[in-house]
């Protein structure tokens, strides 16, 4: 018996060593090998993007319920998202942003009407291309769609102005499929103060906004604190009974005085709450040098047009602009996005960070190496190069936001 036990121990040790050897050391790979590994991870792991502005892009492109102009089931010549590129990049669940411009707040009913229209457009994608897209209202839905090879279309409403002045609309939008609401957008609204607005109408959340946050908790909608002022952020954290998200925000350390991004204090408060911060890829969000550099490029090109009596549509100007922009590239790189992730992880840990690209919402400001949804493997490869494990990548890609989403669902079920 002792001899059998001895051999069993040896077998267990041998199996353990073999298992450890199977874990690849991504930091020792060549860039080509690492990108191949990153692409495999991207395609075999659920990837959630907290914010993609496709619905509003469809609206601008002429997509309606009666006719379809922008067809994202095939490769499109512009924009950052379509089905083929999402498949190439391994993106499985882009949160469709039901974006309400602040200007709609001036006309009663306009915000809710636009939200309904954009929701219907998103639903039409799933019904028109059922072999490619599917609606998703929970993490379980995304997992089921992933198993079928479908791209999930969960929805978040960007700007709580869609609620108008009626608290009952919180539950209404839950029933329409909205699973997070960004409390404010460009200006203060009935809910609270926005980061881009210096008015400070309420000094944080309004009394109505406090009721909105509580009602979102009750029905099961995630509270999204991107776009809000620092005071609104703190007020919402004090009221919510469940973890929050910041669906598309980055680190203020790299963009001093840019309140739209999150300070270290807010990142720490978010982590204490159990929330998740989803990193925005926009140039002005990830590097303060981008704004100055892009302004210089634009100024030079405007002067060049005037001096040479050209317009933007002239082929000679377009050729010159492309060459000049490439030679004086103001864009940050994929490495800078990884720097933001590094900062959050160093400050509060791996469990509180995710991806919130803002694709189709930040114009041409996207960093080199992350110009569209096909390029997610470039970011994963950079993280692998920096020593992140596959488990770390899975947390960033979906597990962290699923944890928050499930907690919000569980709280709402317990209250019902």
To the nearest whole percent, how much of the chain has pLDDT over 70? 93
In this model, does residue 337 exceed pLDDT 70?
yes
In this model, does residue 386 exceed pLDDT 90?
yes
Q: What is the pLDDT of residue 303?
A: 87
Please give the average per-residue pLDDT across 46-64, as a whole number: 89
In this model, does residue 12 exceed pLDDT 80?
no
Q: What is the pLDDT of residue 1?
A: 47
Q: What is the pLDDT of residue 69?
A: 64
| Mean of all residue pLDDT scores within the chain | 92
Please give the average per-residue pLDDT across 285-293, as a whole number: 85
**Tens of pLDDT, residues 67-92:** 556 899 999 989 999 999 999 999 99
To the nearest whole percent, how much of the chain has pLDDT over 90? 79
Please give the helix or strand (H or E) that residue 404 lies within, else none.
helix 400-415
Please give the average per-residue pLDDT across 376-388, as a whole number: 98
Cβ-Cβ contacts under 8 Å for 174 (sequence gap 6 or more): 219, 220, 221
Apex CA 9: angle with CA 8 and CA 15, to 5°?
A: 90
362 versus 17: which is more confidently predicted?
Answer: 362
Q: What is the pLDDT of residue 19?
A: 47
Q: What is the pLDDT of residue 397?
A: 98
In this model, does residue 18 exceed pLDDT 50?
no
SS3 for 222? strand
In the chain, what are the domains? 29-285+332-415 (3.20.20.140), 288-331 (no CATH)
164/169 Cα distance (integer angstroms): 8
Q: Which two tokens stand for residue 407?
A: 């907690």
Dihedral angle computed from the Cα positions of residues 139, 142, 144 and 148, in that order, rounded to the nearest 10 degrees: -170
pTM for the full predicted model: 0.89
202/209 Cα distance (integer angstroms): 10
72/54 Cα distance (integer angstroms): 9
What are the Cα distances from residue 145, in Å, to 113, 131, 133, 219? 29, 10, 9, 24
Cβ-Cβ contacts under 8 Å for 1 (sequence gap 6 or more): none
Q: What is the pLDDT of residue 63?
A: 60
Name the burial class of residue 279, with classes exposed (0-12), middle (13-18) and buried (19+) by CB atoms within 10 angstroms of its CB. buried
Q: Which of 222, 248, 231 is nearest to 407 (CA)?
A: 222
Please give the average per-residue pLDDT across 107-121, as a whole number: 97
* 282, 272 Cβ separation under 8 angstroms: no
Q: Which of 108, 88, 114 is nearest to 176 (CA)?
A: 114
Dihedral angle computed from the Cα positions of residues 170, 174, 177 and 180, in that order, rounded to the nearest 10 degrees: 70
In this model, does residue 367 exceed pLDDT 70?
yes
Q: What is the pLDDT of residue 302?
A: 87
Beta partners for residue 155, in sequence order: 96, 178
Name the burial class of residue 11, with classes exposed (0-12), middle (13-18) and buried (19+) by CB atoms within 10 angstroms of its CB. exposed
What are the Cα distances from residue 348, in Å, to 16, 134, 261, 385, 407? 32, 34, 16, 21, 19
Please give the average per-residue pLDDT across 208-222, as a whole number: 98
């Amino acid at each position: 018996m002792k001899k059998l036990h001895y051999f069993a121990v040896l077998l267990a040790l041998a199996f353990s060593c073999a298992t450890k050897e199977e874990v690849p050391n991504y930091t020792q790979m060549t860039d080509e090998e690492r990108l191949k590994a990153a692409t495999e991870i991207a395609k075999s792991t659920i990837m959630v993007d907290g914010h993609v502005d496709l619905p509003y892009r469809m609206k601008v492109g002429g997509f309606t319920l009666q006719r379809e102009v922008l067809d994202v089931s095939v490769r499109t010549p512009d924009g950052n998202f379509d089905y083929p590129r999402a498949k190439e990049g391994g993106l499985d669940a882009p949160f469709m942003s039901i974006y309400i411009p602040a200007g709609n707040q001036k006309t009663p009913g306009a915000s809710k009407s636009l939200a309904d229209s954009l929701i219907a457009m998103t639903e039409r994608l799933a019904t028109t291309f059922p072999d490619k897209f599917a609606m998703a209202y929970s993490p379980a839905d995304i997992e089921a769609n992933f198993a079928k090879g479908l791209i999930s279309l969960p929805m978040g409403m960007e700007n709580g102005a869609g609620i108008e002045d009626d608290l009952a609309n919180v539950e209404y939008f839950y029933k329409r499929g909205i699973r997070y609401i960004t409390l404010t957008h460009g200006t203060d609204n009935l809910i609270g103060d926005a980061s881009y607005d210096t008015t400070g109408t309420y000094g944080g959340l309004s009394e109505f906004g406090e009721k909105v946050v509580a009602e979102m908790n009750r029905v099961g909608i995630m509270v999204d604190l991107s776009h809000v002022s620092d005071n609104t952020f703190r007020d919402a954290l004090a009221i919510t009974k469940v973890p929050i998200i910041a669906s598309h925000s980055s680190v203020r350390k790299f963009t001093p005085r840019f309140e739209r991004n999150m300070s270290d204090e807010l990142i720490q408060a978010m982590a204490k709450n159990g929330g998740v911060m989803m990193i925005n890829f926009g140039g002005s969000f990830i590097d303060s040098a981008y704004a100055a550099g892009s302004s210089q490029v634009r100024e030079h090109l405007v002067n060049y047009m005037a001096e040479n009596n050209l317009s933007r549509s002239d082929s000679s100007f377009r050729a010159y602009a492309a060459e000049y922009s490439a030679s004086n590239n103001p864009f940050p790189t994929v490495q800078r996005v990884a720097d933001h992730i590094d900062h959050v992880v160093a400050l509060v840990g791996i469990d509180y960070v995710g991806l919130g690209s803002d694709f189709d919402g930040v114009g041409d400001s996207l960093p080199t190496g992350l110009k569209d949804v096909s390029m997610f493997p470039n970011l994963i490869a950079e993280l692998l190069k920096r020593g992140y494990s596959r488990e770390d990548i899975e947390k960033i890609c979906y597990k962290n936001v699923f944890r928050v989403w499930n907690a919000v669902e569980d709280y709402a079920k317990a209250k019902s």
